[in-house]
């Protein structure tokens, strides 16, 4: 067996050496032959090239799929990053717009309140100070407001506090930086009023509810829901004709009046000096 292997090795070695020696020369000759053949028959070369391309195309297609998939994954990842960045920008824009929306609504409400104040037309000898409500200090047993104005010219005890819609109350106390308003719905409030159409006089008495009552009307008078109530000008507290409210109900419990100015919607008021003595004059020193 060993003799046969040794013999085959002796025979194949010269052949292998000869093939290696003439391989380069064979390739050169094959290339020259292909060039000559291409010059001789271009159509046949094109057909051969097409067949080789067709044979290699499926292999190239399979090899290119992972590359295309990788490119698609990279493109999707870039798109996702861009979408995240855009979402963050949109969130920032949304927060900014919500902030400005809140500011716009606040300014709109303030503008509306100030426009309502323009409905009030003071007389020639009347001065006034516009103030903003900073606190509602009322509760079950008291109805009052705090204003952001203190002791200054044009602000004094007993002065009328109004809005463009009507009478709110009167100044009951003044500090260096604030003033207290006693609302017409407070239990301690008593205002001389009259029914605008019939000119019937009475007293509007607060009862610590949102609906004060008409008291001390003359016997036998007729009051109907919807009648307007205005100040009468008696007592030197307020001038005549300030709008107060409208009669809401007439029953066994009395005559209730709905004020023109709801307590929970008061933002800006006007402290009006009508030049009257009022009902809460400043105490004189000894």
Q: Is the pLDDT of residue 263 over 80?
A: yes
Q: Is the pLDDT of residue 138 over 50?
A: yes
Q: What is the pLDDT at residue 224?
A: 93
Q: Is the pLDDT of residue 284 over 60?
A: no
Residue 123: CB atoms within 10 A of its CB come to 10
Digit-coded pLDDT (tens) for 141-187: 788 999 999 888 889 898 999 988 899 999 999 999 999 999 999 99
* Residues 240-253, mean pLDDT to the nearest whole number: 92
At 106, the pLDDT band (50, 70, 90 cuts) reads confident
Question: CA separation (Å) from 261 to 10, 59, 164, 210, 229?
Answer: 125, 88, 9, 10, 13
Distance from the Cα of residue 72 to its chain's centroid = 42
At 236, the pLDDT band (50, 70, 90 cuts) reads confident
At 5, the pLDDT band (50, 70, 90 cuts) reads low
Digit-coded pLDDT (tens) for 14-58: 666 666 666 667 777 777 776 766 565 566 666 766 676 667 666
Q: What is the pLDDT at residue 229?
A: 95
* Residues 226-244, mean pLDDT to the nearest whole number: 89
Q: What is the pLDDT at residue 170?
A: 93
Distance, in Å, from the CA atom of 141 to the CA atom of 186, rounded to the nearest integer, reads 8
More confident residue, 272 or 98: 272
User: What integer best gives the mean pLDDT of the chain?
Assistant: 79
Q: Is the pLDDT of residue 137 over 70?
A: yes
More confident residue, 110 or 15: 110
Kindly state the percentage of the chain with pLDDT values over 90.
Answer: 28
Cα-Cα-Cα-Cα dihedral sign, residues 270, 271, 274, 279: positive
Q: Is the pLDDT of residue 107 over 50?
A: yes
- pTM confidence score: 0.58
Domain boundaries, the chain: 128-273
At 226, the pLDDT band (50, 70, 90 cuts) reads very high
At 191, the pLDDT band (50, 70, 90 cuts) reads very high
CATH of 128-273, one of 3.20.20.70, 3.40.50.720, 2.40.10.340, 3.30.70.2740: 2.40.10.340
More confident residue, 151 or 7: 151
At 286, the pLDDT band (50, 70, 90 cuts) reads very low
Q: Is the pLDDT of residue 228 over 70?
A: yes
More confident residue, 243 or 66: 243
Q: What is the pLDDT at residue 281?
A: 47
Q: What is the pLDDT at residue 108?
A: 78
């Amino acid at each position: 067996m060993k003799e046969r292997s040794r013999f085959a090795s002796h025979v194949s070695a010269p052949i292998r050496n000869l093939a290696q020696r003439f391989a380069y020369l064979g390739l050169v000759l094959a290339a020259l032959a292909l060039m000559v053949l291409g010059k001789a028959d271009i159509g046949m070369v094109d057909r051969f090239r097409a067949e080789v391309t067709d044979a290699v195309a499926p292999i190239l297609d399979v090899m290119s799929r992972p590359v295309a998939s990788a490119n698609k994954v990279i493109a999707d990842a870039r798109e996702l990053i861009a979408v995240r960045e855009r979402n963050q920008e949109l969130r920032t824009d949304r927060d900014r717009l919500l902030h400005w929306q809140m500011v716009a609504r606040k300014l709109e409400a303030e503008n509306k309140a100030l426009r309502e104040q323009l409905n009030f037309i003071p007389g020639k000898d009347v001065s006034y100070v516009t103030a903003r409500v900073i606190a509602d200090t009322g509760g079950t047993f008291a109805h009052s407001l705090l204003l952001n104005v203190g002791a200054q010219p044009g602000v004094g005890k007993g002065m009328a506090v109004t809005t463009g819609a009507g009478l709110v109350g009167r100044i009951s106390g003044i500090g260096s930086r604030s003033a207290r308003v006693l609302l017409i719905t407070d239990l301690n409030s008593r205002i001389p009023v009259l029914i605008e159409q019939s000119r019937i006089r009475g007293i509007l008495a607060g009862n610590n509810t949102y609906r004060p009552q008409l008291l001390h009307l003359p016997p036998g008078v007729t009051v109907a829901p919807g009648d307007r109530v205005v100040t009468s000008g008696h007592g030197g507290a307020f001038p005549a004709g300030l709008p107060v409210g409208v009669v809401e109900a007439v029953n066994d419990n009395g005559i209730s009046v709905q004020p023109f100015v709801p307590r929970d919607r008061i933002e800006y008021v006007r402290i009006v000096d009508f030049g009257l003595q009022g009902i809460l004059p400043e105490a004189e020193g000894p």
